[in-house]
Amino acid sequence: MMTLLDNVGMLCIFMGLPFFLTGTVGLLRFPDIYTRLHALTKADNVGLGLITLGLSLQADNLFIVAKLILIWILVLIASSASCHLVARSAIQKNIHPWVK
């Protein structure tokens, strides 16, 4: 039988999935590299945060919760660093932002 924490955890996981979907759609549909990076990093970080929260609510012990939070923090650091490197490389190659 599912408890309240399991139900809230599943709700958080299902709330995180649309963020991944919108990040992917933004990556495919936005016109330039800067807006694509913004869509991808913001949406994926929020989606991963919600999925991590949902999995943490369903975890059996605190060690698993600590590992999930550590993974989330490392992904946040890696995605912001890689986004910065890609954007800086685009600026160095003189790629201008899209202007309507």
Per-residue model confidence as pLDDT tens digits over 4-25: 889 999 999 999 999 999 999 9
Token pair listed for 58: 């369903």
**Residue 86 pLDDT grade (very low, low, confident, very high; cuts 50, 70, 90):** very high
Indicate the average pLDDT of the chain.
Answer: 92
Three-class DSSP category at 99: coil
The whole model's pTM is what? 0.85
**Residue 97 pLDDT grade (very low, low, confident, very high; cuts 50, 70, 90):** confident
Task: Report how far residue 1's alpha carbon sits from residue 3's, in angstroms, rounded to the nearest whole number.
Answer: 7
The answer to whether the beta carbons of residues 7 and 56 sit under 8 Å apart is: no
Q: Given this model, what pLDDT does residue 51 score?
A: 96
